[in-house]
Amino acid sequence: MRLAITRPDDFHLHLRDGDMLAAVVGHSARRFARAIIMPNLRPAVTTLAQAEAYRQRILSGLPPETDFQPLMTLYLTGNTSAQEIARTAQSQVVCAVKYYPAGATTNSDAGVRDLSQVYPVIEVMEKYDLPLLMHGEVNDPQVDIFDREAVFIERHLLPLLARFPRLRVVLEHITTLDAVDFVRGAPARVAATITAHHLLLNRNALFQGGIRPHRFCAPILKRENHRRALLAAATSGDPHFFLGTDSAPHRRADKESDCGCAGIYTAHAAIELYAEAFEQVGRLDQLEAFASFHGAHFYRLPRNTGRIVLERKPWTVPESYLLADNSRCKPLRSGEVVRWSLEDD
């Protein structure tokens, strides 16, 4: 069986920098026409000049004859100035600003401690119609890790949307039924991305036969009823929901550690994994809208013109991918089968 769809976009991607960037960018460029690039480098991408320089490094790391377009973001900190946001909003390079609650995930220590502290900057984003992308988890150690997304919606997102009635917001990598219900009922200025791993795995996968650090990500995998709700939302045709892989490569040693970091690498098989998930519920007919139309519409980008062809032909994922410094990155399904393949262009 073959499935041809308009070339998709990845609306949430970590490409990193240096050796890691060189090793991973080709995987995304082979599948996607464009991607929203996360700014959580060390140091974080906090200015327009840094975003422009990072974009150039990505373009120079691309394999020859690819026309992949990185859509850049700025990392919101307590020190971000209104002037920088105004400058950014008028550039063609930066498409959105990313909010991380300080300490919630990988490289988020520069994040925002108190959302109300950045309200003056958010006001400028609203004025210039620059979307705010939110890592939607509270970082309150009193709140159970499995409840942090639902509590974020109540405590922070609702007041934010009430205070800024025209601000466009993407709730990133949603993982719960609570988030699905909230976004489905929200106005069109609110949207959500959904990862392939949250569509395919529930929290049992974290402890299958032992502790599985390569399945640890933020927000953490949830119960099966939440996975089902995400799958129903992604395959429903509702334009609030679109594709964002949150592919987040790490060196193997950084994950297999006493305090392993969050992030799952999926770029090597991204659209194929989404096809598997959609097939599970018999909704492959909805893959194109989710992967290629809804996100472009939200970001006011033209639809891509090219196509990709998926084939239901199993292949075995390599154990790991080699980085230039000889370290390795272990992908999702490492050494295991993915049911769908991408045909060569």
Q: Which is nearer to ligand NCD, 283 or 328 (CB)?
A: 328
Closer of 235 and 247 to ligand NCD (Cβ): 247
Residues that bind ligand NCD (CB under 6 A): 14, 40, 105-107, 135, 217-218, 246, 248, 262-263
Least distance from C-beta 36 to Zn ion, angstroms?
10
The separation between CA 164 and the C-alpha centre of its own chain, rounded to angstroms, equals 24
Sign of the four-CA dihedral 266, 241, 157, 165: positive
Catalytic residue among 9, 10, 238, 246, which? 246
Q: What is the Cα–Cα distance from 10 to 8, expressed in whole angstroms?
A: 7
List 84, 137, 246, 272, residue binding Zn ion (CB under 5 A): 246
Nearer to Zn ion, 238 or 246 (CB): 246
Collapsed DSSP state (helix, strand, coil) of residue 36: strand
Tell me the closest approach of the beta carbon of residue 250 to ligand NCD, in angstroms: 6
Minimum Å gap between C-beta 13 and Zn ion is 8
Q: Which is nearer to ligand NCD, 157 or 217 (CB)?
A: 217
Nearer to ligand NCD, 77 or 107 (CB): 107
The answer to whether residues 136 and 149 touch, using CB atoms and an 8 Å cutoff, is: yes
Omega prior to 219 cis, within 30 of 0: yes
Shortest CB 21 distance to ligand NCD, Å: 13
Which two structure tokens, joined as six digits, stand for 158?
């609702």
Q: What is the DSSP string of 129-174?
A: T--EEE------TTS-GGGHHHHHIIIIIHHHHHH-TT--EEE-S-
Asked about 325 being catalytic, the answer comes back as no
The secondary structure of 274-288, three-state, reads HHHHHHHCCCHHHHH
Q: Return the one option of Zn ion, ligand NCD, none that residue 85 interacts with (CB less than 5 to 8 A, by type).
A: none
The CB-of-261 to ligand NCD minimum distance in angstroms stands at 6
* By CB under 5 A, residue 149 contacts Zn ion: no
Q: Which does 96 bind (CB under 5 to 8 A by kind): ligand NCD, Zn ion, none?
A: none
Piece of 86-94, 244-252, 278-286, 324-332 that binds Zn ion (CB under 5 A):
244-252
339: which residues sit within 8 A by CB, 6+ positions away? 272, 275, 276, 279, 312, 314
Q: Which two tokens stand for residue 342?
A: 């991408």
Q: Which residues bind Zn ion (CB under 5 A)?
A: 246
Give catalytic residues, as residue numbers: 246
